[in-house]
C-alpha cells in the first residue's frame, strides 16, 4: 500500500506491504489497513498514479512479505519508472528485518515470493515477473536504512532517524538563483545528465567552464538546488578564487566543509586540512561545488582525488580556465556559451522592463542595437 504525508509543500509517499503503526514500546504493530484489505487489487489505479506524480520523496519499506504482494511490486515498478529520469525526487529504501542482498539477489522470502508468483502467472506474463525482479534489484542498490532485529537498536530510534532524514530534505535551504537568467533549464538538464546522480556506485567530478558573466555560477546553483537532497551533505563554496587569496583562505574553505560534517575544527595549515578531509569524508556521499576556481592548488587542497570521498559523491567546479580542469584530470566538462540574440533579448526584457512577455515590436530594433553594444 502507499501512504501519503504532507511535509510543508512536499508530498512524501510511503510504500509497504502492511501498514504499520508505532506503539511507543519500541516495536511496530499492524494497523487496520493491511494487504488483505486490498484483496483482488493488483493494478495501479489512476488515483495512485496521480499521487506518485505529485510526490517528491518515496520511502520503500521492504519487509519479509513485501514481495508476496503483486500490488506492492507493481507499485514499486511504477515508482522507479517515474523517478528514473528525475533528479528532483528522492527514493529511500528501508530494509526492515531483511538483508539488502536477499532483495538484490532474490533470496530468502523474496525468492520464495517470486517463485510463487511465477507459478501463478501464465506464460504470457513472464515479462512482468522479470520487471518485478529488475525493480527489486534496482531498489536494493539505492542507499537506504537497514533495521536488523539484533537488539542493538530500538525501532523508535530507527524511525526517528528516518523522520530526521526526511525533515533534512524537506527543510533544506535553497540558494538564490537570479530570476532574470534565461535558457537555464536546458543547460541544467545537460549538466545533471553528466553527473548521473542516480548511480551510487561511482564518483564524478564535472567541470563547468566559460567566459566571465555567462552564467556559470547561476547554472551551478540551479543544479545544487535541484539535486542537493540526494546527498548526506552538500556544500557550495562560492568565490573560491577570492577567498583563497586571503590569509588562511584555503584553510577557511576546508573548515566550511568540515564544520558541516564533523563540527568546528581549527586548522593550522591547509595541508593538515587535506588529511582531515580525507579521513572524515572517506565514506560519505556528498555534493561539493567549487565556484570560480583559478588555481590548481585550490583543487588540490579541497577535492584532491576521487578516493577522498564516499561512493555516490558528485563534485562540480566552475572556472574560466578549461586547461585547469585538464590539469586536475577532470574529464567530464560542460561549456557555458554566451547568450544568442533571442535569449539576450529575453534577458534584457526581464531586466530592463521587468516583463515576462515580449515588449512591443517597435522597440525590437533599439533593443537589438543595445544587445550588440553590450556584447562588445
The pLDDT tens digits of the residues spanning 110-169 come to: 999 999 998 888 777 778 899 999 999 999 988 888 888 776 677 778 888 888 777 767
Residue 322 known to be catalytic: no
- Of all residues in the chain, the percent with pLDDT exceeding 90 is 31
Task: Note the CATH architecture for domain 16-170.
Answer: 3-Layer(aba) Sandwich (3.40)
pLDDT of residue 199: 82
Q: Which of 95-99, 165-169, 343-347 has the lowest mean pLDDT?
A: 343-347
Distance separating alpha carbons of residues 203 and 199, to the nearest angstrom: 9
Average pLDDT (205-229) is: 87
By the 10 Å C-beta count (0-12 exposed, 13-18 middle, 19+ buried), 101 is classed as exposed
Which stretches within the chain are classed as H helix? Answer: 46-54, 70-83, 100-105, 108-120, 126-140, 155-170, 185-195, 216-227, 240-244, 249-261, 270-281, 296-302, 322-327, 341-353, 364-374
The better pLDDT of the pair 313, 356 is held by 313
Backbone angles phi, psi at 317, to 5 degrees: -120, 130
The answer on pLDDT for 39 being more than 50 is no
Distance separating alpha carbons of residues 182 and 345, to the nearest angstrom: 10
CATH topology of domain 175-335: Rossmann fold (3.40.50)
In this structure, what DSSP letter does residue 56 have? S
Residue 93 Cα to chain centre, angstroms = 14
Beta carbons of 155 and 26 less than 8 angstroms apart: yes
Closest CA to 343 of 224, 117, 237, 184: 184
Out of 263-267, 315-319, 370-374, the most confident range is 315-319
pLDDT of residue 280: 87
At 174, is the pLDDT very low, low, confident or very high (cuts 50, 70, 90)? low
> What are the boundaries of each domain within the chain?
16-170, 175-335, 341-375
Per the residue annotation, which of 75, 85, 185, 264 is the catalytic one?
Answer: 75
Which residues neighbour 376 within 8 Å (Cβ) at sequence distance 6 or greater? none
Q: What rounded mean pLDDT belongs to the chain?
A: 78
At 182, is the pLDDT very low, low, confident or very high (cuts 50, 70, 90)? very low
At 341, is the pLDDT very low, low, confident or very high (cuts 50, 70, 90)? low
- Of all residues in the chain, the percent with pLDDT exceeding 70 is 71
The answer on pLDDT for 369 being more than 80 is no
Backbone angles phi, psi at 4, to 5 degrees: -110, 140
Average pLDDT (272-283) is: 89
The tally of CA atoms less than 13 A away on the side-chain side of residue 96 is 25
Amino acid at each position: 500500500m502507499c501512504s501519503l504525508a504532507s511535509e510543508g509543500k512536499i508530498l512524501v509517499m510511503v510504500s509497504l506491504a502492511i501498514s504499520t503503526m508505532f506503539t511507543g514500546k519500541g516495536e511496530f504493530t499492524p494497523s487496520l489497513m493491511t494487504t488483505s484489505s486490498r484483496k483482488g487489487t493488483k493494478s495501479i489505479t489512476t488515483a495512485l498514479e496521480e499521487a506518485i506524480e505529485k510526490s517528491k520523496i518515496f520511502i520503500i519499506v521492504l519487509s519479509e512479505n513485501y514481495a508476496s504482494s503483486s500490488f506492492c511490486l507493481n507499485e514499486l515498478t511504477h515508482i522507479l519508472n517515474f523517478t528514473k529520469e528525475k533528479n528532483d525526487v528522492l527514493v529511500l529504501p528501508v530494509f526492515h528485518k531483511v538483508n539488502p542482498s536477499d532483495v538484490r539477489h532474490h533470496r530468502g522470502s523474496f525468492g520464495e515470493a517470486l517463485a510463487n508468483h511465477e507459478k501463478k502467472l501464465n506464460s504470457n506474463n513472464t515479462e512482468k515477473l522479470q520487471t518485478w525482479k529488475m525493480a527489486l534489484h534496482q531498489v536494493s542498490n539505492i542507499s537506504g536504512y537497514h533495521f536488523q532485529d539484533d537488539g542493538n537498536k530500538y525501532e523508535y530510534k530507527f524511525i526517528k532517524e528516518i523522520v530526521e532524514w526526511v525533515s533534512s530534505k524537506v527543510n533544506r535551504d535553497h540558494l538564490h538563483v537570479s530570476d532574470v537568467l534565461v535558457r537555464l533549464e536546458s543547460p541544467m538538464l545537460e549538466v545533471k545528465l553528466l553527473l548521473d546522480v542516480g548511480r551510487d556506485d561511482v564518483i564524478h567530478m564535472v567541470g563547468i567552464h566559460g567566459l566571465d558573466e555567462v552564467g556559470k555560477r547561476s547554472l551551478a546553483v540551479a543544479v545544487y538546488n535541484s539535486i542537493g537532497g540526494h546527498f548526506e551533505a552538500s556544500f557550495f563554496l562560492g568565490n573560491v578564487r577570492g577567498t583563497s587569496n586571503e590569509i588562511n583562505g584555503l584553510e577557511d574553505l576546508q573548515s566550511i566543509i568540515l564544520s558541516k560534517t564533523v563540527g568546528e575544527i581549527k586548522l593550522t595549515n591547509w595541508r593538515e586540512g587535506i588529511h582531515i578531509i580525507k579521513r572524515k569524508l572517506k565514506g560519505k556521499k556528498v555534493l561539493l561545488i567549487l565556484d570560480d576556481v583559478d588555481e590548481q592548488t585550490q583543487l588540490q587542497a579541497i577535492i584532491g582525488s576521487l578516493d577522498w570521498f564516499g561512493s555516490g559523491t558528485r563534485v562540480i567546479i566552475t572556472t574560466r580556465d578549461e586547461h585547469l580542469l585538464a590539469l586536475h584530470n577532470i574529464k567530464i566538462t560542460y561549456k557555458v556559451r554566451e547568450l544568442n540574440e533571442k535569449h539576450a533579448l529575453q534577458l534584457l526584457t526581464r531586466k530592463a522592463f521587468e516583463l515576462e512577455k515580449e515588449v512591443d515590436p517597435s522597440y525590437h530594433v533599439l533593443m537589438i542595437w543595445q544587445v550588440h553594444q553590450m556584447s562588445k
